[in-house]
């Protein structure tokens, strides 16, 4: 065991250039060194502590960068290893979390495509080139679709094409063009990992301008609640979870909006993606939700689904990223499925309408 730990330490040092020469490490040992790098533990009770969060972000970045460097060292030693494409994909994915790394990733992708160490690795490189293109396209739907098409045209049978087209569709503003992309995904990639959410994405687009139906038992009060009970109110539908960092970060804004606008007719229905754990009651999502709501004073309606990303209601609406906000007008009509940006101003405009 001691020798194994020393070997892992030596490999980590090699990745940072500590050794200019020496015997070639085995692929298994290098893989073990990569797996040995763990992300720092996160203290959920300090989520609101800005100093702690800033330090955690630094620590998680350091862990990502260390793992990424070890993967690069592995690639240089074993460019054609069967695990190299997946691991280099991990490296590129980690580096892309920070914009300053994009030129590094772009350079590596071009080098891999030129060197062509293996078809699988080249294919992975093209996939991440498309991801960079999507990231740089931002809200420009035309550029986003063009970035996705580069990979799709080259590898039309690769199921990852579905995720690229789905991300591109998110940037497309025209409803008909968006629906065309969603239907294309269902037709060409029906078995792709994210295909089950595409029907929900179509539901979103076709649901705009129609009554929004939802009936549930409030997780906190135990009372039956339905959208018909909220007729005459402007309703924010907030898909979220207690484990979702961005959701929790936006909670102060949601609380302030509720405080400012509730008396004018604003209601919030939070739809939780927390997970019910029958195998471990101490981790039960319902208790986590109700404890969190009580601690953070969230005096609105709470719908607990209990099945994480596979929860029936949220999946039926194509929810595969949170927080996600819908907006329903006083007549119970769904008017916006991308309401997160500028939610308070959007709600005020609806409240002002007679």
| H-type alpha helices, 208-319 | 245-249, 251-261, 285-296, 312-316
Structural domain includes residue 46: yes
My answer on whether 230 and 183 are in the same domain is: no
CB 64 within 8 A of CB 71: no
My answer on whether 136 and 249 are in the same domain is: no
pLDDT value for 160: 92
User: What's the pLDDT tens digit per position in 167-190?
Assistant: 999 899 999 999 999 999 999 999
CB 334 within 8 A of CB 207: yes
My answer on whether 31 and 122 are in the same domain is: yes
Flag whether the pTM goes above 0.85. Answer: no
pLDDT value for 17: 44
User: How far apart, in whole angstroms, are the C-alpha atoms of residue 85 and residue 223?
Assistant: 52
My answer on whether 264 and 190 are in the same domain is: no
pLDDT value for 14: 44
Please list the rounded mean pLDDT of every run of 10 residues in the chain (354 residues).
40 41 82 95 80 93 96 96 96 95 96 96 97 93 95 94 93 92 94 85 95 96 95 97 90 96 97 78 79 94 93 94 97 96 96 89
My answer on whether 177 and 223 are in the same domain is: no
My answer on whether 169 and 65 are in the same domain is: yes
My answer on whether 108 and 85 are in the same domain is: yes
- Domains contained in the chain, number: 2
What CATH number does residue 343 fall under? Answer: 3.40.30.10
Enclosing domain of residue 119: 2-204
Identify the DSSP state of 116.
Answer: -
Q: Which of 178, 204, 230 is the last residue of a domain?
A: 204
User: How far apart, in whole angstroms, are the C-alpha atoms of residue 297 and residue 276?
Assistant: 22
pLDDT value for 10: 43
My answer on whether 9 and 153 are in the same domain is: yes
Lookup: tokens for 231? 């007729």
Structural domain includes residue 209: no
pLDDT value for 177: 94
- End-to-end CA, the chain: 73
My answer on whether 173 and 70 are in the same domain is: yes
pLDDT value for 117: 93
Q: Which of 204, 233, 249 is the last residue of a domain?
A: 204
DSSP per-residue letters across 123-158: HHHHHHHHHHHHHHHTT-HHHHHHHHHHHHHH-TT-
My answer on whether 192 and 311 are in the same domain is: no
**Burial (0-12, 13-18, 19+ Cβ within 10 Å), 150:** middle
User: What's the pLDDT tens digit per position in 247-287?
Assistant: 998 999 999 999 999 999 999 999 999 987 665 555 678 88
pLDDT value for 278: 60
pLDDT value for 23: 66
Structural domain includes residue 72: yes
User: What's the pLDDT tens digit per position in 206-237?
Assistant: 999 999 999 999 999 999 999 999 999 999 99
My answer on whether 85 and 180 are in the same domain is: yes
What CATH number does residue 65 fall under? Answer: 1.25.40
Structural domain includes residue 210: no
My answer on whether 6 and 47 are in the same domain is: yes
């Amino acid at each position: 065991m001691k020798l194994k730990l020393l070997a892992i330490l030596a490999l980590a040092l090699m990745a940072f250039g500590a050794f200019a020469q020496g015997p070639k490490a085995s692929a298994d040992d290098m893989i073990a060194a990569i797996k040995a790098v763990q992300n720092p533990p996160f203290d959920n009770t300090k989520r609101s502590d800005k100093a702690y969060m800033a330090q955690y972000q630094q620590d998680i970045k350091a862990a990502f960068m260390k793992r990424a460097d070890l993967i690069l060292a592995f690639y240089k030693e074993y460019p054609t290893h069967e695990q190299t494409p997946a691991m280099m994909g991990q490296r590129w994915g980690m580096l892309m979390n920070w914009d300053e790394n994009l030129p590094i990733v772009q350079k590596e992708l071009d080098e891999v495509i030129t060197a062509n160490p293996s078809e699988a690795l080249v294919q992975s490189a093209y996939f991440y080139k498309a991801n960079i293109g999507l990231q740089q396209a931002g809200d420009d739907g035309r550029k986003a679709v063009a970035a996705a098409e580069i990979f799709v045209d080259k590898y039309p049978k690769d199921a990852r094409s579905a995720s690229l087209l789905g991300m591109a569709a998110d940037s497309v503003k025209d409803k008909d063009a968006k629906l065309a992309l969603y239907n294309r995904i269902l037709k060409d990639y029906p078995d792709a990992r994210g295909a089950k959410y595409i029907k929900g994405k179509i539901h979103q687009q076709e649901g705009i301008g129609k009554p929004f139906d939802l009936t549930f038992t409030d997780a906190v009060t135990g009372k039956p609640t339905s959208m018909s009970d909220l007729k005459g109110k402007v309703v924010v539908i907030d898909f979220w979870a207690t484990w979702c960092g961005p959701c929790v970060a936006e909670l102060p804004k949601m609380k302030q909006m509720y405080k400012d606008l509730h008396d004018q007719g604003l209601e919030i229905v939070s739809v939780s993606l927390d997970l019910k754990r029958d195998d471990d009651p101490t981790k039960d999502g319902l208790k986590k939700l109700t404890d969190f709501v009580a601690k953070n004073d969230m005096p609105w309606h709470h719908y607990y689904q209990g099945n994480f990303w596979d929860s029936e209601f949220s999946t039926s609406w194509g929810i595969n990223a949170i927080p996600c906000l819908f907006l329903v007008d006083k007549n119970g009509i769904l008017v916006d499925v991308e309401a997160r940006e500028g939610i308070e101003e959007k709600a005020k405009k609806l409240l002002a309408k007679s």
